[in-house]
Structure 1
Amino acid sequence: MDAKYTFVKVGDKRNNVFDKNDMQELLMKWSIKGRLKIQSYCFNEQFHMYDNHQFILDFFKDNAVSSTLENVNSSSEWKPVGTTAATVEIEQVPCTVTSMNFFDRLQETGQVATKSGKIVKCFGEPIGDFEVWDELRKMLLDEESDNRDLFSTSEKREFIYRLFCHLCLGGRLCQYEDVLEPYLTVTRILYKDLVSIAKDPETKNLITTSVVFKVVAKNKNGEAYFPEDPENLQNFCYLIIDPVRRVVTCFVHQFGGSF
C-alpha cells in the first residue's frame, strides 16, 4: 500500500538550550552534549489521531526521512540512518502540562529537595545503569523510594516529567547537580521549544496542541535501529506532532559519554 503521508526535512531546530554557553556547559556536565538531537519535518496531509500508527510508520518508511534522519553511530558521529522501518512500536505520551508549577512539590515536603532547592542526599546505591546518591534520582528510579508517590502514575507518564527525568539521569559520565534549578531551567526551555501551546478560545486557559509519541523503529530483521538499544531508559526517540503547522519533530538521544 502506498504511503499516505510524505515528509520534507526542514532546518534543524535550534534553540537556547543548545546555543547558550551555560547550557552547553550543563549538557557537557550531564554527559549528554552531542548525544541528543532535534530534527524537524513538514508533512503533506492533515494528521488525525485515529491514523497515528500509519503516520509514524510512513515517517520511518519515507526515503526522504531515512536519508536525512540522523543518529549517533559507534564512532560517535551523527549520520543518516539510511534504513527504512519494517515496523514501529509506539506509545502515546500525555502532554497536558502548561506550567512549571508541576514541579513545585519537589521542594514542598523537604524530602527530595529543600525549600531553597538543594537536593537531599542519601546513601549511595546502584540502580540499573546509574549510581544513586540523592533522593531525587532515587525517586525517579526506585519503586521502593519513600517519595515514589510524590507524582501519580499518570503524572509520571507526562512528557514534561520524562524530559525532566532524562536530564536528571544524564549520560554515562554524568556529574549530578546539587540543586534543582539547572534541571528545571533546561526542562522548561526544551519543553517550550518542542511543544506548541495555545489559548483555548472558550475557557481562555492555556492548552497544549502538540501530540507526542515515544517510538521505536525496527528493521526487516526485527532489530531496533532508532533508537538503538531501547531497553536502556536513556535511549529514546520522541515524535512531537504539531497538527496545526503540519510539522513533526524528532527528539532522540543515545546513552553514552559527551563529545
Structure 2
Amino acid sequence: MDGKYTFVKVSDRKLNGFDKNEVQELLLKWSMKERLKIQTYCFNEEFHSYDSRQFVMDFFKDPTVTTTLENVDYNNVWTPVGIAAGDVKIEQIPCTITSMEFFDRLQEKRQVADKRGHINKCLGEPIENFEIWDELRKMLLDEESENRELFSKSEKNEFIYHLFYHLCLGGQLCQYEDTLPPYLKVTKLLYKDLVSVAKDQDTKKIVTTSVVYRVVAKDKNGRSYFPEDAEHLQNFCYLIVDPMKRAVKCVIHQFGSSF
C-alpha cells in the first residue's frame, strides 16, 4: 500500500438520528430508504486539509475500503465496490452552521411556508426532471424563483443546506410533505449524526470541527462509480472527516425507489 493514509472499517453502530424509526419511516415516504447509507472508517495519520486530495484518493484505493465500502447496485442490493479509484473529483463543502435558526427565514415572511409550517403551493412545472408544485422546491431548483435570494450563495454551499436540499427533493417515488417540520427534523438529526462540534476556548461558543467534501470516485476509464451517474442531482457522496477522532463518515445516496 503506497498511500499515506490507511483505513479501518468501524463496525456498524446505531446512529442516534438516522436509525430512529420515525426517520426511517420518512425516508421510506421520500423514496430514500435503502438508497441512503452512512458508513464509518477510522484512519491512521493526522489529517491536514491541504492533504485533502491525497486523503480522498487513499480512501478510495485502500484495500479495506474497496472490499467493505458498499453502494446499491442495479438489482437494489448493497454490495462492496470492489475496485480501486483511478481518479477522484473533490469539492470542499463549508460546514459552519450550529443552529437550526438558519432555516427560520423560510417562515418569517411567509414566502415559502406560513407560521405553522404549511408549505405554500404554486403552479406545477417540471424542473431538472422534478415536478414542482410548491414554493419550497421551487426555491431550491428554480433560478427564477422570487425566493431564490432567501439564502446567499455562500449559505447555499453550507453542508446543512445540502442535506436539507437532498431531503426535500427525495427519491424517484417521493411523497412530498405539505409542511416544513419533517424536513427540518430529519435534517437536524442527520446533521448531528454526521458533524462533530466543540467549544471554542476563546469565544466559548460551539463551533463545528468536521471537514466535509463532496466527492466522486471514478474508475480507470473515467466512469463515475461512487456514486453512479454522478451528474444526477440526487446521486451524491459526502466524506465527513473528524480530524480529532481520526474518523471519516461516508454518506452515499443513489436516486431510485425504496425497496
CA distance, structure 2, for counterparts of residue 249 and residue 92 of structure 1 = 15
Equivalent residue for 1:203? Answer: 203
CA distance, structure 1, for counterparts of residue 68 and residue 82 of structure 2 = 8
Cα deviation code 1:147-189 (max 9, x no counterpart): 0000000000000000000000000000000000000000000
Q: Which aligned pairs between 1:244-255 and structure 2 lie closer than 5 A?
A: 244-255=244-255
Q: Count residues in correspondence.
A: 259
Superposition RMSD on alpha carbons, in Å? 0.9
Fraction of identical pairs, as percent: 69
| Alignment CA distance shift 1:13-1:214 (3 Å) | farther
The ranges of structure 1 where at least 4 consecutive aligned residues each deviate by more than 4 angstroms after the TM superposition are: none
Cα deviation code 1:125-145 (max 9, x no counterpart): 011121000000000000110
Tell me if structure 2 keeps the 8 A contact 1:13–1:38.
Answer: no
Asked if residue 167 in structure 1 is aligned to residue 160 in structure 2, the reply is no
Tell me if structure 2 keeps the 8 A contact 1:17–1:24.
Answer: no
Report how far residue 18 of structure 1 moved.
3.6
Instruction: Structure 2: state its 5+ residue gaps.
Output: none
Equivalent residue for 2:178? Answer: 178
CA distance, structure 2, for counterparts of residue 116 and residue 105 of structure 1 = 13
CA distance, structure 2, for counterparts of residue 32 and residue 129 of structure 1 = 17
Tell me if structure 2 keeps the 8 A contact 1:120–1:136.
Answer: yes
Q: Secondary structure at the match of 2:90?
A: strand
Asked if residue 243 in structure 1 is aligned to residue 243 in structure 2, the reply is yes
Report how far residue 12 of structure 1 moved.
2.3
Tell me if structure 2 keeps the 8 A contact 1:237–1:253.
Answer: yes
**TM-score of the aligned structures, taking structure 1 as reference length:** 0.98
Question: Aligned letter for 2:155?
Answer: E
Question: Aligned letter for 1:43?
Answer: F
Report how far residue 14 of structure 1 moved.
2.7
**TM-score of the aligned structures, taking structure 2 as reference length:** 0.98
Tell me if structure 2 keeps the 8 A contact 1:196–1:210.
Answer: yes
CA distance, structure 2, for counterparts of residue 252 and residue 70 of structure 1 = 9
Q: Secondary structure at the match of 2:241?
A: strand
Equivalent residue for 2:140? Answer: 140
Question: Aligned letter for 1:24?
Answer: Q
CA distance, structure 2, for counterparts of residue 177 and residue 32 of structure 1 = 14
CA distance, structure 1, for counterparts of residue 167 and residue 13 of structure 2 = 19
Q: Secondary structure at the match of 2:68?
A: coil
Instruction: Structure 1: state its 5+ residue gaps.
Output: none
Equivalent residue for 1:41? Answer: 41
Report how far residue 13 of structure 1 moved.
4.5
